[in-house]
A and B are shown apart, each in its own frame.
Chain A
Amino acid sequence: MAPLTSPTIASLPDEVVVVDHLTKRFGRVLAVDDLSFRLETGSVTGFLGPNGAGKTTILRMLLGLVRPTSGTALVFGHPYREHSEPARRTGAVLEAADFHPGRSGREHLITLALAAGLPASRADEVLDVVGLTKAAGRGVKTYSLGMRQRLGLAAALLRNPDLLILDEPANGLDPEGVHWLRVFMRDFAAAGGTVLVSSHVLAEAALTVDRVVIIGRGRLMKIAELDELVDESATLERAFLELTPGSTV
């Protein structure tokens, strides 16, 4: 795989993500309950919690896809939908299945590049970064789950973002892919980028993240540097199970 292009960071504010008293109800279901946390630049934050904890809903509120019932979710100081060119600074991978099966990987990226005012050739650059150049002309229906994750990541990189929001990006990756993703996220943060990555795979998170935000039933359970948390509880797994009672993970 090709070496990464380092993100270009121009005078970032310290707080990349601000979630303040964020609440979301879907009908009678309280998915996110008065949640607050902040992320600073240049770190990899693991967003951990059992399935159904509200991780995905929170990430979608940050990206302006889901409207909060109350509270605020800001990226770079503003609600995502109020930025004039949000994707320029934020890249996201939400679901591995979000592709038209009959469209090739390259064409998928080109449609997004054009929407962002970028030349179609930018698609080939990010395909190279994620190592999908050979498969680029094939329909996405022929891709493995791991290849779809890479294609999603390529789309997130199109605008050379400063913030990456990744929802379970390691799902379906083989060991080599997991290792590659880890190195990728570390390099991205080392170059000044910020990563918010959700996961329920604790062993992987423990190797990758600087700090963890642990969510349970829509509420904040713990926010801590990984090393403090592990000192207290010996392993991330034990800390996680103590903090999220009833979890089946």
Chain B
Amino acid sequence: MTAQLRSELRKMRSTRTNVGLLLGLVGVILFGVVAGSFGTEAELSLLDDQRELVGNGAFAAAFAALIGVLAMTSESRHGTIRATLVFTPARPLVVFAKVLASALVGIAFGALGAALALGAGVVTIRGHGHDVLLDSGDIGRLLLGTIVMAALWAALGVGVGGVLRNQVLTIVGLFGWVFVIETLLLRHLPDVGRYAPGAAGTAVTGDTVGDSTVDLLAPVTGGVLLAAYALVFVVAGAFVTSRRDIT
């Protein structure tokens, strides 16, 4: 397992893909914080709006999901899966090593995303002449929640990628689900929607979903539920990967 994990971590840093994702994350968070501060100058004095501003760190989870998806599906796309499985025929081991490696990189993205959103948020709030009302509880929840959410989404990305195999299909499916279907669910069937993976993940940071008034799950419940989704998809991905012919 250690050998395969080292191999997967090396794959993570031997292309420019994850550097690109990191730059993308920085850009999205800074844009989110700056955009969130415009037109709401008065409201930035309120605690809820300050929380929402630094909550932009949660974008790290979407990037972590991409890391996981790409770790799995780029091997099918470029054919490297053949050499990988000739060297390590124990296919579940390969999938689990990808889960661990993606989760570790996801944790780094989560920590960086939360710290960046917090730093940029505080500068922005002060720049508008308001006092920062966030306390250590808010900050701890933001940091820890974002890290947990990013790690779990990275694992979920590997699992879904293992089940669907096709890179474009996986990315469109995953993001279509979270940003389109879950949005509709939360709006029209909130009692179902709050149990969906995206909403469960958002609950971990104690955030609300955009401007909706849906009550999300408690952070710990959301985290456990998201972990359960991740586990189901990782096991399914390992199973499907083990069964199929690599042609």
Chain A residues in the interface with B (C-beta under 8 A): 26, 57, 60, 63-67, 80-81, 83, 86-87, 90, 92, 94-95, 97-104, 107-108, 110-112, 114-117, 155
Question: How many inter-chain residue pairs (CB < 8 Å) link A and B?
Answer: 87
Determine whether the beta carbon of B89 is less than 8 Å from that of A83: yes
Determine whether the beta carbon of A114 is less than 8 Å from that of B10: yes
Determine whether the beta carbon of B82 is less than 8 Å from that of A94: yes
The 8 A-B pairs at the shortest CB distance, nearest first, are namely A98-B79, A107-B14, A115-B7, A65-B246, A114-B7, A81-B89, A66-B245, A102-B15
Determine whether the beta carbon of B7 is less than 8 Å from that of A111: yes
- Residues 147-165 of B, flagged 1 when their CB comes within 8 A of A and 0 if not, give 0000000000000000000
Chain B residue numbers with a CB within 8 Å of A108 are 14, 80
Within 8 A of A (CB), among B1-48: 3-4, 6-7, 10-11, 14-17
* Alpha-carbon distance between A104 and B14 when the two chains are bound, in angstroms: 8
Q: A81-B89, A103-B14, A103-B15 are in contact. Are A67 and B78 (CB under 8 A)?
A: no
Determine whether the beta carbon of A66 is less than 8 Å from that of B247: yes
* Alpha-carbon distance between A170 and B14 when the two chains are bound, in angstroms: 28
Chain B residues in the interface with A (C-beta under 8 A): 3-4, 6-7, 10-11, 14-17, 74, 78-80, 82-90, 243, 245-247
Q: A111-B10, A114-B10 are in contact. Are A64 and B85 (CB under 8 A)?
A: yes
Chain B residue numbers with a CB within 8 Å of A90 are 86
CB distance from B70 to the nearest CB of A (A): 10
Q: A81-B89, A87-B87, A102-B15 are in contact. Are A115 and B79 (CB under 8 A)?
A: no
* 19 examples of A-B residue contacts, CB within 8 angstroms: A67-B245, A81-B89, A81-B90, A86-B89, A92-B83, A94-B83, A95-B79, A98-B79, A99-B78, A102-B16, A104-B14, A112-B84, A114-B3, A114-B10, A115-B4, A115-B6, A116-B87, A117-B3, A155-B83
Q: Max chain B CB contacts within 10 Å: which of A26, A64, A65, A90? A: A65
